């Protein structure tokens, strides 16, 4: 099996060929990803008899986490859209933040929501707002897609109790309360720069090829009873509140029946299932379309999203199995650069190569955490630099790349410009804030 620099070369060639297949030769992403996953495993030199098992295990493990979620999320979104709830919520956001600042409002909304709710679930739940806000404001849907996606992923990587930051805080020996506080301080400017400012910039440059074709304006159905703002927000917040209750119960009532109950109803799949059932019951009076047609459309859309997401996970599994992470660790440990920058680069490269921000954060903090005393740096600052590195450079080996691509209704090129580059800018912005905080080391608590 290949080792060392050849692993990096094969990975880069695989990515280049994947982009050619999808963008240049218009091959269906699911088929392209599946072929690339098998081809990469063979090129790396994995035993042929093990290749099918590695690819299918990666596919299955990914769908074990998001398969049911995607299916339920599409149905939930279909009912919210058909009932007019999404339009009501979008209108309320516009009243609160105004038209010009509405992308900033959506970005900050994403930042808050992603603290208790996993990124994929939050993006699925909130993605229905993208088209509605774009239609109401005349602002490119690309701007809103960037704002939402970057807001969610920044919080997901910077603010505990999401798994990545939680493990980083533990591995670096940081005070969790202070780690959360400084994580928020770093996440907000990163969200505004990478999500709002960059989103506004990129939206003006790729607006015409999306808004006119893929995001047609929806006209209000006069035969439909108008839904209230309270019910609209109630339905949208239902799964979020259930998932949040799960998180809170673990902190406040560990080992009790309360934790067990909310651990069940607050599981992201159960929470969304409950929300779908509630939508079917409570939104029915506000929907003019037949339920059968809504289910058919939702299941049709969910099927392809599930296949593509699973194939992305299969590609990521092959890369993980190759040992590229171990090689990168050994290589970067010999670099003579500032510690905080090294932590960021380490985490960023692992994020890009392994396709998982959580794995990148856990791996980097596991290596650098025990060295904190020798490195002579604040545990919190080191941990935050690691978290900042996990935000950007999401590539097709990341299942989240395909969640954004499909639910955002983007092309591959647009996903790279909106999601991959936007996340990288947000990560750099978070790192700048970490360095700014380091100037007050010894003055601010914990630093």
- Distances in whole angstroms, Cα of residue 271 to Cα of each of 227, 244, 245, 256: 22, 10, 10, 20
CB 113 within 8 A of CB 148: no
Token code pair at residue 157 = 């990587």
Distance CA 346, CA 342 (A): 6
Contacts of 274 (CB under 8 A, 6+ apart): 238, 239, 242, 265
Distance CA 76, CA 101 (A): 27
Q: Which of 419, 414, 385, 428 is nearest to 399 (CA)?
A: 419
**Residue 218: predicted pLDDT:** 43
CB 433 within 8 A of CB 392: no
What's the half-sphere exposure (Cβ side, CA atoms, 13 Å) at 165?
33
Q: Which residue has the tokens 């596919």?
A: 59
Distance CA 295, CA 302 (A): 10
C-alpha Rg value of the chain to the nearest Å: 22
Sign of CA dihedral 271, 277, 280, 285: negative
**Residue 78: predicted pLDDT:** 85
φ, ψ of residue 345 to 5 degrees: the values are -65, -45
Q: Which of 379, 304, 311, 284 is nearest to 340 (CA)?
A: 379
Q: Which of 439, 256, 428 is nearest to 344 (CA)?
A: 428
pTM of the predicted protein model: 0.80
Regions in the chain scoring below 70 on pLDDT: 116-117, 161, 207-224, 329, 332-333
Sign of CA dihedral 318, 322, 326, 329: negative
CA dihedral 363, 19, 27, 146 (to 10 degrees): 70
Q: Which of 284, 273, 276, 281 is nearest to 227 (CA)?
A: 284
Q: Which of 56, 72, 206 is nearest to 134 (CA)?
A: 206
Q: Which residue has the tokens 């990666």?
A: 58
**DSSP helix/strand/coil, 227:** coil
């Amino acid at each position: 099996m290949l080792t060392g620099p050849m692993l990096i070369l094969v990975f880069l060639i695989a990515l280049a060929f994947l982009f050619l297949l999808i963008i240049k030769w218009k091959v269906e992403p699911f088929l392209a990803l599946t072929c690339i996953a098998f081809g990469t495993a063979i090129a790396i030199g994995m035993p042929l008899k093990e290749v099918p098992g590695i690819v299918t295990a990666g596919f299955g493990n990914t769908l074990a986490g998001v398969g049911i979620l995607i299916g339920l999320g599409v149905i939930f979104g279909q009912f919210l859209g058909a009932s007019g709830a999404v339009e009501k919520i979008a209108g309320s956001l516009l009243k609160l933040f105004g038209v010009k600042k509405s992308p900033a409002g959506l970005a900050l909304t994403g930042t808050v929501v992603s603290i208790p709710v996993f990124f994929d679930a939050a993006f699925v739940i909130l993605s229905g707002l993208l088209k509605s806000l774009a239609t109401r404001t005349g602002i490119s849907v690309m701007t809103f897609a960037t704002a939402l996606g970057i807001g969610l992923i920044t919080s997901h990587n910077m603010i505990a109790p999401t798994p990545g930051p939680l493990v980083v805080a533990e591995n670096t020996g940081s005070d969790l309360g202070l780690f959360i506080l400084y994580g928020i301080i770093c996440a907000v400017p990163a969200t505004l720069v990478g999500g709002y400012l960059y989103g506004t910039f990129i939206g003006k440059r790729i607006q015409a090829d999306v808004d006119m074709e893929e995001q047609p304006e929806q006209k209000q159905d006069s035969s439909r009873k108008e839904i209230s703002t309270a019910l609209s927000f109630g339905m949208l917040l239902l799964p979020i509140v259930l998932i949040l209750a799960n998180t809170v119960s673990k902190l406040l009532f560990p080992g009790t029946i309360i934790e067990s109950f909310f651990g069940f109803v607050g599981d992201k799949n159960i929470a969304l299932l409950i929300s779908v059932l509630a939508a079917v019951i409570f939104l029915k009076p506000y929907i003019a379309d037949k339920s059968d047609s809504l289910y058919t459309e939702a299941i049709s859309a969910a099927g392809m999203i599930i296949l593509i997401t699973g194939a992305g996970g299969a590609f990521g599994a092959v890369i993980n199995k190759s040992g590229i992470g171990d090689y990168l660790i050994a290589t970067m440990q010999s670099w003579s650069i500032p510690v905080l920058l090294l932590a960021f680069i380490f985490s960023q490269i692992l994020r890009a190569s392994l396709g998982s921000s959580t794995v990148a954060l856990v791996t980097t903090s596991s290596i650098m955490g025990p060295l904190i005393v020798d490195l002579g740096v604040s545990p919190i600052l080191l941990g935050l630099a690691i978290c900042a590195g996990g935000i950007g450079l999401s590539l097709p080996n990341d299942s989240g790349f395909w969640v954004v691509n499909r639910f955002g209704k983007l092309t591959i090129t647009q996903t790279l410009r909106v999601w991959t580059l936007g996340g990288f800018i947000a990560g750099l912005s978070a790192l700048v804030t970490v360095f700014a905080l380091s100037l007050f080391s010894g003055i601010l608590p914990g630093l």
